[in-house]
Amino acid sequence: MKRPAQWFGVGRTETGQVRPTNQDAFAVINECMLWVVADGMGGHPAGDLAARMAVDSVVRGASQASAALQQTSDHPSRPLADLLAAANREIIEKADAQPTLRGMGTTVVAMIIGSGPIPVAHIAHLGDSRAYLYRSGTLRQLTRDHTLVEKYLQDGLIGAAEAKTHPRRHVLTRALGMEPDLPPERMSISLTSDDLLLLCSDGLTKMLADHEIALLLSRTEGDPARACDALIEEALNRGGEDNVTVVVCASMPPARDGSPAIDKKVAGM
């Protein structure tokens, strides 16, 4: 029987050209096929701490519940959403215990790929950090931004052109730390072996339009490391107005000894 391909990711984060500190954090845990990006809320206390707490909480919880995360069920993304809910509680409890941290919060997008014969990406998120699928030359946004402008769009109050420059386009309606019982949005999608998956903070999408991201990915021959570097460098070349973080995932066959290639990285500044 043909063994399923493994999936691996590569991540990179940069402070950018404008912000004095980096409030993004990410994790690449390839042995669990788990990837996370978080972006601390700008203008709020301890956004960097909130982002690191979110990533650390998800990684810690995933290591304790890897079997549940990998299983195929009617609601396969629910265990991942539960990890984000746990991270939310930790952030709120930390802020309640330390008044100087009141109001801290972070966006988060997390993804795990099931280990069954048909690979399925399970995604859960809060905020405007995004997940994308790049397939056959086409880039598809998998997540929906939790922002006021996105809500205005859905309600028909503004058009797509106005949304791009609206003064409240980065005001969040959902994020970790905002409310005790704020459910993450979740989704699942079947994959093919040639797919690329991208997780990113809004420091990328502020600087690059989707068609520009797709063009850069088309030039990297499916190599996640090359894709990370190309996206980050172009965002910096365009001005790097915000912290920028990307994680790119691709499929790979098992190693000859039957074990997958493994990489592990957790980063935050």
> 52 pLDDT exceeds 60?
yes
The encoded tokens of residue 102 equal: 């009141």
71 in a domain, yes or no?
yes
> 73 pLDDT exceeds 60?
no
Determine the average pLDDT of the residues in 26-36. Answer: 94
User: What is the value of pTM for the model shown?
Assistant: 0.89
Determine the average pLDDT of the residues in 204-230. Answer: 96
The encoded tokens of residue 201 equal: 């903070």
CB 89 within 8 A of CB 180: yes
Write down the pLDDT at residue 74. 43
Tell me the residue range of the domain where 74 lies. Answer: 24-127+142-195+247-268
Write down the pLDDT at residue 257. 44
Whole-Å CA distances, 163 to 87, 154, 156, 206: 30, 11, 11, 12
| Residue 148: band (very low, low, confident or very high) from pLDDT cuts 50, 70, 90 | confident
| Residue 45: band (very low, low, confident or very high) from pLDDT cuts 50, 70, 90 | confident
Sheet holding 24-29, edge to edge: 185-190, 120-126, 106-113, 34-40, 24-29, 264-268
> 153 pLDDT exceeds 80?
no
137 in a domain, yes or no?
no
Determine the average pLDDT of the residues in 109-117. Answer: 87
Write down the pLDDT at residue 252. 76
CB 250 within 8 A of CB 10: no
230 in a domain, yes or no?
no
CATH of the domain at 67: 3.60.40.10
214 in a domain, yes or no?
no
Whole-Å CA distances, 191 to 25, 117, 133, 166: 26, 11, 9, 34
Tally of structural domains, the chain: 1
70 in a domain, yes or no?
yes
76 in a domain, yes or no?
yes
Mean pLDDT score across all residues of the chain: 86
Q: How far apart are CA 137 and CA 135, in angstroms?
A: 6
Write down the pLDDT at residue 225. 96
Q: Which of 124, 125, 101 is nearest to 50 (CA)?
A: 101
